[in-house]
Structure 1
Amino acid sequence: MSKETVFLSGATGYIAQHILGQLLETKKYKIVGSVRSQEKADALKTNFQNNEDLSFVFVDDIAKEDAFDAAFQKHGAEFDYILHTASPFTFEIKDNKKDLIIPAINGTKSIVQATVKYAPNVKKFVVTSSYAAVASPSADYIKSNTLNEETWNDQPLEEAVKDPIASYYYSKTAAERAVWDLHKSLNAKFKVTSINPVFVFGPQQFDSSVTKKLNTSCEFINGIVHSQLDDPVSNDIKGAFVDVRDVAKAQVAAIADDKLAGHRLILSAGRFSLQSLADIINKKYPQLKGKIARGVPGSDKEAIDSLATLDNHVTKELLGFEFIGLTESVMDTVNQILKVDASQN
């Protein structure tokens, strides 16, 4: 029986590499990943031991309105599933709307339209959205709020563009809405699932991806590992977490399990603050205790209690697996960081 083909956009990303690993482990799929350069393709191919089920196409700028057309014109007929993980994410910008919001929307519209035009056999389209599309930056900080899979970030554009973080939240919201809206307006035959993760912790798929500065979420952990004893630990940094391996697991499930079609899935294993991370690292790593930031142990409870209620029981019931807990996720991240640090000294 021939293997089905998955197209994975943004294949070199933190989450995407875990998705690749889990897809290849099933031995059920061929994967075509989009990358921005031959160098990135070669490095990923090497890391995955030149697996014959993995190949690449080049999409140099996902923000272009026709970004995916050439790749899909050439290969689209082969695709059975689309996993769209690529998204512009930078705060080094001059114009929040022009440089952040419009590219996010254009890139997402491009891949949906290319799928409809050039990939007639696609059965499921899975978009990696974000908790940012569920709640505005302020909504998650209002204790009386309850946020769930039906909730949308409703911050208006004119308000969001004033701040780069709010603009990022808006860009994720607008991009996800574009998927659902185009799916309906274009009468697309494929089913859509949206994956909406919170802060994502956990190890990199490969040690070679561990650099001095990590991706936004994991940098919270990395920052504590490399902190000084007197450094402050801010309880203002707080929210919800999920492990990257569970995010990848949900993506793979979304193409295999029909009951996930048509749903938004909020991937959250629980709440944390920066103090929670500091407490775990100080407790579990005696070789670091007394050298790294300590903060005020136990003060995370009050910070976490001030947050909104995040109710994702529908997601958990649909997925049917236990999420990795905070201690395990943090320790697996720290273990990898320390291993790489040791190898470089």
Structure 2
Amino acid sequence: MSDSNKVVFITGITGFIATHTALPFLGAGYTAEDWIARFPVHKARFQYAVVPDMVVAGAFNGAVKGCDIVAHVASPDNEADFLVPAINGTKNLLLATKHEPRIKRVIYTSSLAAIYDPTLEAGKHVIETEWNSITYDDAKVATDPLVVYRASKALAERAFWDYIQDEKPSWAGSTICPCGTFAPPIQPLSSLSALNLSTAFMWDIANGKYRTGIPIMGSPFYVDARDVALAHVRAAERDAAKGQRYLLIGGTYVPGHFVEVIHRHFPDLRDNLPPIDLSKAGYGNFEHDSTKAIRELGIEYTMLEKMVVDTIAYIVNLQKH
């Protein structure tokens, strides 16, 4: 995406977070067959490059040509293939930046999963300087796909920082580490069965799948994807963000909070909902500090109620059309 001055390369553009990330870049004056059809107003400033397999050596070399900023948002979603694609895909993109001296900033989308392991560290104070301790060897033999996922996030982000330390590139890097991310699913969708995992979870609460009980969630934290997207733009533009890591958590929740908001705002969906249960509010007793993004990036976290209402209203409208 570009204007007459700057071009930003966003990986994984058809994905949930990447689509949200593209829009504020476009709104800030940058520009980017299925994706642009969703947002035709930006057609004149959008180009795309197909990268069939980001693990292949040199996969991104051509794609970064002519770019000033890179936002690496793409992430593997196959639980059996987390480790190698996440790590090698990141390394390939970083190596590709050697082929384009115009690049001044690289923003890497990591995750809260790279910071802590809730199964091992219940009650821990979560801040952006922490790392989960799962090793590559641990992940290779793990039977729990969530362990593999957490390892892949930490190891891929470490590869990002190691590259900066070892190669001393001409560009400055920042990482964005969001927790469980929710928002209207504005990415191209073939059907509601193609919803991303977090949005599908919220919609399943609303559509009756969990009428008799909601399964245990992986984390008690939420953040709006629109806040995550804006953090990418601000990190690319602000000098204070150079070399920094940002934890993005909008707040804590239990699924009962989603139920309560849906019950109040969507009376037609009430028969689908399980009983409202806020008894586990404060679930896990986790403490966190995500104010660095407020101070340095100017992020104002979206409240849970708005996040839920906007998301469910968007999906209800999708169903109608």
Fold agreement, TM-score > 0.5:
yes
Q: Determine whether 1:79 maps to 2:79.
A: no
Output aligned runs, 1:23-102, within 5 Å. 23-27=25-29, 29-31=30-32, 42-49=33-40, 51-72=43-64, 75=65, 78-91=66-79, 93=80, 99-102=81-84
Write the letter of the residue equivalent to 1:44.
W
2:222 aligned partner: 241
Question: Can you list the C-alpha shifts for 1:9-49, whole angstroms capped at 9, x where unaligned?
Answer: 1111111111222112222x243xxxxxxxxxx11122221
8 Å contact kept, 2:38–2:188? no
Contact 1:214 1:222 in 2 (8 A): no
Residue 189 to residue 207, structure 1, CA distance change in 2 (3 Å): closer
Whichever residue aligns with residue 224 of structure 1, its letter is: I
* Structure 1, unpaired ranges of 5+: 32-41, 94-98
Any idea what the Cα deviations from partners look like across 1:201-250, whole Å, max 9, x if unmatched? Answer: 01022585662341111111111111158421245554211111111110
Give TM-score scaled by structure 2 length: 0.92
- Note if contact 1:234-1:275 (Cα within 8 Å) is conserved in structure 2: no
Match of residue 149 from structure 1: 128
For the aligned residue pairs, the C-alpha RMSD in angstroms reads 2.0
What corresponds to 1:341 in structure 2?
319
1:308 corresponding residue in structure 2? 286
Structure 2 alignment gaps of length 5 or more = none
Deviation of the 1:179 alpha carbon? 0.6
| Conservation of the 8 A alpha-carbon contact between 1:232 and 1:293 | no
Corresponding pairs, count: 316
Instruction: Give the structure 1 partner of residue 259 of structure 2.
Output: 278
Aligned: 1:122 with 2:103: yes
Paired residues of 1:238 and 1:274 also in contact (CA < 8 A):
no
What are the equivalent positions in structure 2 for 1:84-233 lying under 5 Å apart? 84-91=72-79, 93=80, 99-115=81-97, 117-139=98-120, 142-143=122-123, 145-161=124-140, 162=142, 163-205=144-186, 211-227=192-208, 230-233=211-214
- Equivalent residue for 1:17, pick from 1, 16, 19: 19
State the SS of the aligned residue for 2:306: helix
Match of 1:96 in 2: none
Match of 1:38 in 2: none
User: 2:128 is matched by which residue type in structure 1?
Assistant: E
Distance 2:311 2:217 in 1: 22
Which AA in structure 2 matches 1:71? A
User: Residues of 1 paired with 2:39 and 2:307: CA distance?
Assistant: 23
Cα separation, partners in 2 of 1:300 and 1:279, compared to 1, 3 Å:
farther
Q: Which secondary structure does the structure 1 equivalent of 2:293 belong to?
A: helix
8 Å CA contact 1:139, 1:308 repeated in 2: no
The answer to which of 207-216 and 262-271 deviates more is 207-216
Q: Secondary structure at the match of 2:231?
A: helix
Preserved contact between residue 69 and residue 105 of structure 2 (Cα < 8 Å): yes
Distance 1:109 1:52, change over 3 A: same
Look up the SS of the partner of 1:4 in the other structure.
Answer: coil
Q: TM-score, normalised by structure 1?
A: 0.86
CA contact (8 A) 2:14 2:188 kept: no
Distance 1:232 1:43 in 2: 37
Q: Secondary structure at the match of 1:55?
A: coil
Task: Say if 2:180 and 2:219, in contact at 8 Å, map to a contact too.
Answer: no
Distance 1:229 1:240 in 2: 20
Q: Judging changes above 3 Å, is the alpha-carbon distance between structure 1 residues 229 and 251 closer, same or farther for their aligned structure 2 residues?
A: closer
Tell me the residue number matched to 2:8: 6
Instruction: Write the mapping of 1:293-304 to structure 2, written as runs, cut at 5 A.
Output: 293-301=273-281, 304=282
How far 1:284 sits from its partner (Å)?
Answer: 2.1
- Following superposition, the deviation at residue 106 of structure 1 comes to 0.5
Question: Residues 83 and 151 of structure 2 are in contact (CA less than 8 Å); yes or no, is this contact kept in structure 1?
Answer: yes
CA 1:246–1:236 in 2, change beyond 3 Å: closer, same or farther?
Answer: closer
Q: CA deviation at 1:118?
A: 0.3
Q: Does 1:268 align with 2:249?
A: yes
